[in-house]
């Protein structure tokens, strides 16, 4: 027996968090009956689980891909405006993979794609604090106060960001280049953080996911994650927030 949301995630259909939303919205059927209760147990061999008329089965052949996403590409498997998606960068994989989190249209850098829903949950859920490191080119020169605000959290939308690791890489005529590490990853969070301190982002690149990086991947190129990288992310569980660094 297995909890329904875990079964959906292990089938490769989507992440566990999104599976819980689908269940709550009444979009999941078990043996022909709509199920809305989270935690419902299913028989992985005999029960028939369906979403949108498609029967789900446990995915045994998990795939983990690291892509250096270019700008001008959306982090989805399909786009209503027919823009290029991250899947257009990846050829030769038969399994149905999807992005682990996302990078916005104008952001480049490292992005993982997989069909392992549990893995996706481990990497994206805030409770595990998997850090993501970015290189930011921002307008103007950041002063001590600006950096302290980023390090201690700034108010954006309806929440205050968690403390971030921030380091100025260089300053020039056009603006400042800053390395910043966060572990939340809300929608357009980095851009909103820098807007909040009045230094809009000119260019944004994701450098690392946890300790995983790859300077040899050109924009648009991808590779399979190594087993040690997969294990590292599956086992990552840091219960402490980022701390300030000068």
Rounded CA gap, 43 and 69, in Å? 39
DSSP letter for 174, please: S
- 157 given a catalytic annotation: no
Largest Cα separation within the chain, whole Å, is 66
**Nearest CA among 179, 68, 64, 185 for reference residue 128:** 185
- Sequence-distant (6+) residues with CB within 8 A of 91 are none
φ/ψ of residue 196, rounded to 5: -65, -25
* 3-state DSSP percent of the chain in helix, strand and coil, to 5: 25, 30, 50
8 Å CB contact between 67 and 100: no
Q: Which of 43, 79, 82, 104 is catalytic?
A: 104
What amino acid positions are annotated as catalytic residues? 104
């Amino acid at each position: 027996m297995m909890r329904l949301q875990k079964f959906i995630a292990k089938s490769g259909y989507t992440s566990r968090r999104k599976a819980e939303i689908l269940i709550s919205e009444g979009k999941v059927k078990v043996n022909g009956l709509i199920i809305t209760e989270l935690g419902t147990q299913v028989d992985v061999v005999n029960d028939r689980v369906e979403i949108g008329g498609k029967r789900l089965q446990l995915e045994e052949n998990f795939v983990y891909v690291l892509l250096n996403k270019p700008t001008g590409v959306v982090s989805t498997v399909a786009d209503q405006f027919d823009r290029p998606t991250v899947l257009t960068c990846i050829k030769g994989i038969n399994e149905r993979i999807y992005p682990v989190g996302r990078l916005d249209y104008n952001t480049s850098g490292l992005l993982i794609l997989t069909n392992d829903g549990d893995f996706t949950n481990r990497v994206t859920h805030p409770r595990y604090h998997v850090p993501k490191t970015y290189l930011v080119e921002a307008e103007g020169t950041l002063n001590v106060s600006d950096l302290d605000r980023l390090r201690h959290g700034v108010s954006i939308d309806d929440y205050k960001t968690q403390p971030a690791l921030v380091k100025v890489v260089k300053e020039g005529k056009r603006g400042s280049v800053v390395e910043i590490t966060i572990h939340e990853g809300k929608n357009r969070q980095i851009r909103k953080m820098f807007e909040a301190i009045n230094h809009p982002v000119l260019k944004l690149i994701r450098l690392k996911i946890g300790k995983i990086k790859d300077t040899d991947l050109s924009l648009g190129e991808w590779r399979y994650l190594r087993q040690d990288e997969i294990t590292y992310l599956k086992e990552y569980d840091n219960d402490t927030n980022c701390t300030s660094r000068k």
